[in-house]
Amino acid sequence: MPEVLSQSQIDELLNALKFEDTAKAEAQNNAKRVKNYDFKTPKKLTKEQTKILLGIHENFARHLASYFSGVLRVYCEISVSSIEELPYYEYNNALNDSVMVGVFDVKPIEGSVLVDISNTVTFTLIDRLLGGAGSGYSGKHEFTEIEIALMSKVFRQIATFTKEAWANLVEVESEFQQIETNARLIQSMPMEEVVVIVMMDISIGEVKGTMGFSIPCINLEGIIEQLTKNKAVPKRQIDQTQEELLRETMLARIRNSALELRGVLGETQLTIQDITNLQVGDVVRIGHHAEKYVKVTVGERTWFTGIMGISRNRKAIKVQKIL
């Protein structure tokens, strides 16, 4: 006769199964938190340094999105999606065989900075710049000289915005070098060299794509470390004393310059016939009340307002307000 389990035994079995399921779920959650770390290629940037790099490229993304919106006459949104460190060969292998890659010289960063734009975004830019609707993408399309020339202007703007994005932290010189259309021919650095990859998501109207920065880590760590030390004191604040000294020096040199000071009592317009008919004793109305403020100009610019009066038996203007 088969053994019949009691209610307490059944409860114990159910609790055991429940505990086993909970243990498995916790093990799976813990497994998700574990991330493989390659000790052969340790990370060169700390979390704080990566955060500074993120802020720089978010600033760049805002500049570039405004430029695209104005030039293409369509809403554009750009955001930083990820920042990670990889060997250069992994970045190069991930690129399509045919893709536009801009090569930049960004000092003081050693090595070439690469900027790749996905073909969907590239052909949308070209189509919109040529007056189209932005739907000219073709997966088998080869780049022409005209298309490369158009994209060269875009990459030159990227060089300008790169310089502006770094400006508040460190002075950099960004220069666009050339465009490469075959990713396999780009030999900007050794394949084993570690680079920082900054990926951005681009939305131009209904079109979505990506743009990636490949930044060499040769001396980037030292540059970011210096930014970390000085991040609380922006470069413009550091130079404030020097700017004040320069301002005082310039003012000292021009204080003795002669300028024309005029009191404008009023203005009116007359025809040539009225002017030729003027006689001694005629009255010309200037459309200004005698007791109202008059303008005092320096050169061609109005600097003060005042009231008319007499000082030491001479006509004068008393300054009432500095504009």
Query: Could you tell me the CATH superfamily of domain 258-266+284-323?
Result: SpoA-like (2.30.330.10)
Region for residue 312 given its phi and psi (left: phi exceeds 0; alpha: psi -120 to 50; beta: otherwise): left
CATH 3.40.1550.10 maps onto the chain at 47-241
Summarised one tens digit per residue, pLDDT across range 206-240 is 889 999 999 888 777 777 766 666 554 455 555 67
- With b for 16 or more beta-carbon neighbours within 10 A and e for fewer, the 169-197 pattern comes to beebebebeebbbebeebebbeeeebbbb
Q: Name the segment(s) of the chain with CATH classification 2.30.330.10.
A: 258-266+284-323
Give the predicted TM-score (pTM) of the model: 0.58
pLDDT interval class at 271 (50, 70, 90): confident
Which residues, in sequence order, are CB contacts of 118 under 8 Å at separation 6+?
A: 99, 202, 209, 210, 211
Please compute the mean of the pLDDT values over residues 123-133 and round it to a whole number.
87
Instruction: Please give the helix or strand (H or E) that residue 199 lies within, else none.
Output: strand 194-204
Matching CATH number, 47-241, of 3.30.1390.10, 3.40.640.10, 3.40.50.12660, 3.40.1550.10: 3.40.1550.10
The answer to whether 85 and 264 have CB atoms below 8 angstroms apart is no
